[in-house]
Chains A and B, each alone.
Chain A
């Protein structure tokens, strides 16, 4: 699986490397703005039911990169894969009359169900927190806006922290602060981790180019994750034809129960 994805994505990107090398000479102030290119050979990934997680490799190239800045490592690249967005409700348990029960809850607006990040180094050393918050890149910096008005900012922080912690714990949110590596002076490779429980739907690959701590270029590509196999077919059936599915469940029960009584009858 891992090798397959890598080869699939590598092929078209080799083309980007060539123009990237014909750059502004070293030291000369560039008048052309740097650009960023990323690409995938496929816009769709099929995941079988025995999927246990994999790495998705994305290649990209800097265009019009300044050789001097490249040499002293002033370019940083962050690549993220964002899953489909949905509302997420975080609940907190409290002891009530000796029993632990959910008491408070907070719903966040349209947060990605999964989020995988790869970067050249710790993103907090790439840029300052306020500007990362602005861009919304990084698990600690993505916007988590509660639905409705909540006056207690302390509890917002607690719920946000809990959300991030739980998402990191179940693997849906991942980060690899050395996941982006330059394979040549301007060609880079990003390894994004796909969790085993990755949701299907339209994901977004986003690449950010920072120069000396400033975001200077950004690219995005949609990537469709499609689950295949019998398990997914069952899930689809349960959601798309619930009555037929329910009827089948009852039918199996009737056949099993009746069948066993016929099979084991002594006479």
Chain B
């Protein structure tokens, strides 16, 4: 059964899109990630124009992150003040990102830029995760004790000015790195269609030394608003959010996520992370191959500034 995507301007098999959404939803539930960094490349592999894939990916992240955000809000495991400071940077970053996105699209380099960013990001994250999970697996086998880390240790980040007190996190921290982190994630959201949790969470834990108890909730808080904002701005400037595609992905995604969560609870963390790392690496390598292999057609036509 085919369905016509009005913004992507092509007909697709609805079951492939449903399967894609469900699979990514399942993985995002299992690993506790938003799934934007998987859905966008998958859509590109399925010949959805990258412009549409990115904007629709951001929209899909809203749906996959909202239930988690609500849960954390109810339990109070989020630092509202910290979230708002992150959000200030995030909204500014998303605005700048959409501006860069439109400019790249005008000069015909958008598709390339998205691919390169994905290759760099996925291979770095994938390699780091794989390394970390393999180390954890080895440790588990040798029954070693985890070296105790002191979260109170200070680094260069804590010597920056403009300090603010975040009561909930019990931390006294400069606003500069928080806003900068939010800004960077905002740029990634608008250019890559990701929530950015897979960067934000480690950065908050290791760089800003924010207690793990509030990290996930706070990052989800920021992700919800930045992805929602990006969806609006992409819709208004690039007309590239495909509501049909997004709806199919979201419905399949949230259902898949429910089952993913259940499976995830039964599996061991290190093995799970190693699997995710391999998956992330595979997607990155597939995109890298696409950049290097000689294309069948080296010319492309764009009408009135719109690329197809």
A residues near B (Cβ < 8 Å) are 49-50, 86-95, 98-102, 105, 113, 159, 162-163, 165-167, 197, 231-232, 234-235, 238-239, 242-243, 245-250, 252-254, 256-261, 264
Q: Are A90 and B250 in contact (CB under 8 A)?
A: no
Contacts A100-B292, A234-B6 given; does A253 touch B63 at CB 8 Å: yes
Q: Give 1 or 0 for each of B221-252: 1 = CB within 8 Å of chain A CB.
A: 00000001001111111010101101100110
A261 surroundings in chain B (CB, below 8 A) = 66-67, 70-71, 254
**Cβ of B301 and Cβ of A88 under 8 Å apart?**
yes
Contact call A256/B292, Cβ cutoff below 8 A: no
Across-interface contacts of B254 in A (CB, < 8 A):
256-257, 259-261
Among A162, A232, A238, A257, the residue within 8 A (CB) of B63 is: A257
Please report the C-alpha to C-alpha distance between residue A253 and residue B294 in the assembled complex, in whole angstroms. Answer: 38
Minimal Cβ-Cβ distance residue in A for B11: A196
Chain B residues whose CB sits within 8 angstroms of the CB of A105 once the complex forms: 108
Does B164 make an interface contact (CB < 8 A)? Answer: no
- Cα-based distance from A166 to B297 in the complex (angstroms): 9
Known: A93-B298, A100-B298. A257 touches B303 (CB 8 A): no
Q: How many angstroms from the CA of A236 to the CA of B162 in the assembled complex? A: 47
In the complex, B219 has a CB within 8 A of chain A: no
| Residues of the A chain whose Cβ atoms lie less than 8 Å from the Cβ of B302 | 88-89, 91
Docked Cα-Cα span, A235 to B62, in Å, equals: 22
CA distance A162 to B234 in the complex (A): 31
Q: With both chains docked as a complex, state the minimum distance between the C-beta of A245 and any C-beta of chain B, in angstroms.
A: 5
A117 to B298, CA, bound (A): 27
* A245 x B108 contact (CB < 8 A): no
B304 contacts A by Cβ under 8 Å: yes
Q: Contact at B243–A235, with CB atoms within 8 Å?
A: no
Q: Are A253 and B303 in contact (CB under 8 A)?
A: no
Q: Using an 8 Å CB-CB cutoff, how does the interface string of B7-30 with A read, 1 for contact, 0 for none?
A: 101000000000000000000000
Residues of B within 8 A of A159 (CB): 299
Complex partner residue of B232 from A50, A197, A246, A258, CB under 8 angstroms = A246
Q: Tell me whether A231 and B6 are in contact (CB under 8 A).
A: yes
Bound-complex Cα distance A203 to B300 (A): 24
Residue in B60, B108, B235 whose CB lies within 8 Å of A102: B108
Which of B6, B67, B116, B301 has a CB less than 8 Å from the CB of A257? B67
Q: A99-B291, A101-B112 are in contact. Are A252 and B9 (CB under 8 A)?
A: no
Q: Does B258 lie at the interface of the complex (its beta carbon under 8 Å from any beta carbon of A)?
A: yes
Say yes or no: is B147 at the interface (Cβ < 8 Å to chain A).
no
**Cβ of B64 under 8 Å from chain A:** yes
| Given A248-B243, A261-B70, A92 and B299 contact (CB-CB distance below 8 Å) | yes
Given contacts A102-B300, A235-B7, A238-B239, contact A249 B291 (CB under 8 A): no
Contact for A231 among B4, B116, B246, CB less than 8 A: B4
Q: Which of B63, B236, B291, B295 contacts A256 (CB 8 A)?
A: B63
> Do the beta carbons of B6 and A256 come within 8 Å of each other?
no
Name the A residues within 8 Å of B131 (CB-CB).
Answer: none
Known: A99-B291, A99-B292, A253-B228. A258 touches B67 (CB 8 A): yes
Which of B6, B250, B251, B294 has the most chain A CB atoms inside 10 A of its CB? B6
Q: For B303, what are the chain A residues with a Cβ–Cβ distance below 8 Å?
A: 86-89, 113
B91 to chain A, nearest CB (A): 14
Q: Is B255 an interface residue (CB 8 A)?
A: yes
CB pair A249–B246 under 8 Å, yes or no, is yes
Q: Which residues on the B side are within 8 Å of A243 (C-beta)?
A: 232, 235-236
CB < 8 Å: which of A92, A98, A245 contacts B298?
A92
Interface members, chain B 242-290 (any A CB < 8 Å): 243-244, 246-247, 250-251, 254-255, 257-258
User: Given A242-B236, A252-B243, A100 and B295 touching (CB < 8 A)?
Assistant: yes
Other-chain contact of A238, B6, B60, B255, B292 (Cβ < 8 Å): B6
Enumerate chain A residues within 8 angstroms of B152, measured Cβ to Cβ.
none
Contact A249-B295, Cβ < 8 Å, known A102-B300, A258-B70: no
Which residue of A is nearest B261, CB measured? A264
